[in-house]
Amino acid sequence: MTRTSESVTIAQRLRRIEGRHNAVVKELRQAFARAERTEDGSCAIEGLRIMEEAIRSGLRFRAVFFKESAQNLAERLLPQIGANVDTVLLTDKLFEDAVPSETPQGVAALVRLKEFSLDDALERLQLGPLIVLAGLQDPGNVGTILRSAEAFGSAGAVLGEGTVSPLNSKVIRASAGSMFRLPVIVAKTAGGIESISAKLRAQGVRLIATSSHKGTPLDQANLTLPSAVFVGSEGSGLPRAVMAQADELLAIPHTAQVESLNAGVAGSIVLYEAARQRRGL
């Protein structure tokens, strides 16, 4: 097939929509705005790199949306997306109204993410510690920790009360696709993080709470055992109830001039140290 004929075939796959009240456009807009799954379990993603990561991760696409002025992206992406997927061409304004980015790249999608349970993560504890986030509001920090968790072999991540949704578009973007592959569990059970802590302890998992100033220095801690590492909010750290349940407090030594480390940085450093110890480096 020649390039011209390929372009014609791709153009034929695109269904043009111009009305903002179209059902699938409304669904995309609402999925972004609410940062939660749609009725059929889909979530909204956007951007070329994230789209390519979703394809690489084997996610199922429900619909793909292209901005009219970025129609060239369709030629790059559609050959990798099944013919049964709804592929839509939107006017620039309609696309920009639907997605949250100030400078959108011109492609978005509704995709079905894999769903994981806490048991799924516990089965992976031989890979590395479970990371538990309590009250992290900055989507960049959460996405960074998810990216580091995959990079350094974490069992998975649990997002507790007060933590930004993992389906927030900024979290997904900062995770650079790790969100699509890593077991990520939102703590919805009664008692939230405290209930999760009790279940982890019942499974023989050590509970390690990170602290800004006190605790076992990171380079002296043993992170080779099945563990769950708790990281608190950017401003107030971990709740007292969570600290009280911990088997060990862990501190990352740093100069006195710095009050505390960024939550995304702190979580990443602990995950790296756990990986280093497990590899015997």
For 118-278, CATH number out of 3.40.1280.10, 2.102.10.10, 3.40.50.300, 1.10.760.10 equals: 3.40.1280.10
Superfamily of segment(s) 3-112: Ribosomal protein L30/S12 (3.30.1330.30)
d(CA 263, CA 37): 26
- Let me know the angle formed at the C-alpha of 117 by 162 and 169, rounded to the nearest 5 degrees: 50
Quote helix, strand, coil % in the chain, to nearest 5.
Answer: 40, 20, 40
In this prediction, residue 255 carries a pLDDT of 67
* Nearest residue to 193 via CA among 248, 276, 134: 134
Host H or E run for residue 16: strand 15-17
Buried b (16+ CB within 10 A) or exposed e, 53-90: bbbeeebebbbbbbbbebbebbeebbeebeeebebbbb
In this prediction, residue 94 carries a pLDDT of 96
In this prediction, residue 122 carries a pLDDT of 95
Q: What is the pTM of this model?
A: 0.90
d(CA 174, CA 57): 16
Per-residue HEC secondary structure of 96-128 comes to HHHCCCCCCCCEEEEEECCCCCHHHHHCCCCCC
Contacts of 35 (CB under 8 A, 6+ apart): 164, 165, 167, 168, 169
- Let me know the angle formed at the C-alpha of 53 by 3 and 20, rounded to the nearest 5 degrees: 75
Asked if the domains 3-112 and 118-278 are classified in one and the same CATH topology, the answer is no
The pLDDT tens digits along the chain (281 residues) read 455 545 557 778 899 998 888 999 999 999 999 999 998 889 999 999 999 999 999 999 999 999 999 999 999 999 999 989 999 999 999 999 999 988 889 999 999 998 899 999 999 999 999 999 998 999 999 999 999 999 999 999 999 988 999 999 999 999 999 999 999 999 865 467 778 888 899 999 999 999 877 899 998 999 999 999 999 887 778 888 888 889 999 988 876 666 677 899 999 999 999 999 998 75
The owner of tokens 């153009």 is 11
Q: Which residues pair with 44 in a beta bridge?
A: 110
- Residue spans of the domains in the chain: they are 3-112, 118-278
Contacts of 62 (CB under 8 A, 6+ apart): 40, 42, 85, 86, 109, 110, 111, 112
In this prediction, residue 7 carries a pLDDT of 57
Query: Which tokens go with 221?
Result: 């801690």
Is beta strand 60-67 parallel, antiparallel or unpaired with respect to 107-112? antiparallel
In this prediction, residue 195 carries a pLDDT of 82
